Structures are given as C-alpha cells and as structure tokens.
Amino acid sequence: MIECSSTILRNLGQILPLKLEYLNLALNIKYIDDFEIFLKNSQNTFIKKLLITNKEIDDDIHDYILFYIKEYIMKKKRVKYLAIIMIYFHLKMK
C-alpha cells in the first residue's frame, strides 16, 4: 500500500485540472518528499473541498504533513474547505 501511495502522490498532481470540486486523498504517506512533490505539481489547481487521510506508524510524518499543508495550501489559498485525518498506529511488541 505504501508503494502505491507513493506512486499516486508523485504523479497525481501533474494530471489534476485547474479546478476541482472535491478530492479525497486516503493514503499511507511514508516519504514526506512524495507529499511535497504532489503539492508542488498541483500548485495551479484550486480544490473546493480537500480531505486528506493519512495512516502511518511514524508520528513525525504528521508534523511534516501539517507544515507542507500550511506552506503550499493555506498560504496560497488553494483550497476552500480542508479536512485532515491523521491515524497513528502504535505497534505492540511481544
């Protein structure tokens, strides 16, 4: 699933139209560079409603996601409505 999420993020931003009504990104973002590439490649796209759901074991990735959302989305006002769901998995060792 992680490799699939990485491929989607690296390529999706290049094919988005200039205006989008709704985008739901439900991913396992492991490499923050992939998310930044998506944001850079989709800079010309205005999204009315954006939902980002990330499921990841590494809690630090969530901080980076929020930083990039602020830099690439909020400052440039590229999204009208934004929802972010961060799901953190804690693995127990036996």
Q: What is the C-alpha separation between 40 and 34, in angstroms, rounded?
A: 10
CA angle, residues 17, 11, 33, in degrees to nearest 5: 120
- Using one digit for the tens of pLDDT, what is the confidence trace for 63-72? 888 899 999 9
| 3-class DSSP string for 11-41 | HHHHHCCCEEEEEEEEECCCCHHHHHHHHHH
Q: What is the C-alpha separation between 94 and 12, in angstroms, rounded?
A: 39
Give residue 64's pLDDT: 87
Give residue 89's pLDDT: 67
Instruction: Supply the pTM of this predicted model.
Output: 0.81
| DSSP state, residue 78 | -
Indicate left, alpha or beta for 77 from its phi (over 0: left) and psi (-120 to 50: alpha): left
